[in-house]
Amino acid sequence: MKTSKTKAISKPKKTSDAGKEVKIRKVAARKSEPAEDEIRKKAEEIYHQRIARGEHGTALDDWNKAKELLRGS
């Protein structure tokens, strides 16, 4: 009767990642448009902060900044 010899399988050696460049691909998550009411509240908050700092600006600037912040861009 023949016996078969099997070779032991060794575990791969752990290596350090030090010095290796690791590239991570980020996938932009597309968020839905914020509701008009949310934008209005955030724009009003931005307006009050801007006025308190004595900065000039317009309602449209505040609106666009609010949309940008709520979208997460």
Residue 61 lies in a domain: yes
Mean pLDDT of 54-64: 97
Residues 30-65 as b or e (16 or more Cβ within 10 Å = b) = eeeebeeeebeebbeebbeebeeeeeeeeeeebbeb
Residue 28 lies in a domain: no
- Given a cut of 60, is residue 27 above it in pLDDT? no
Mean pLDDT of 43-67: 97
Domain residues for 60?
A: 36-71
Residue 52 lies in a domain: yes
Residue 3 lies in a domain: no
When the pLDDT of each residue in the chain is averaged and rounded to a whole number, the result is: 81
Mean pLDDT of 25-32: 63
Residue 40 lies in a domain: yes
pTM, full prediction: 0.56
What is the per-residue pLDDT for 32? 79
- Given a cut of 60, is residue 31 above it in pLDDT? yes
Cα 14 to Cα 5, 17, 46, distances in angstroms: 27, 10, 52
Residue 64 lies in a domain: yes
- Report the SS3 class of residue 14: coil
Residue 18 lies in a domain: no
Residue 17 lies in a domain: no
Domain count, the chain: 1
**68 touches 46 (CB < 8 A):** no
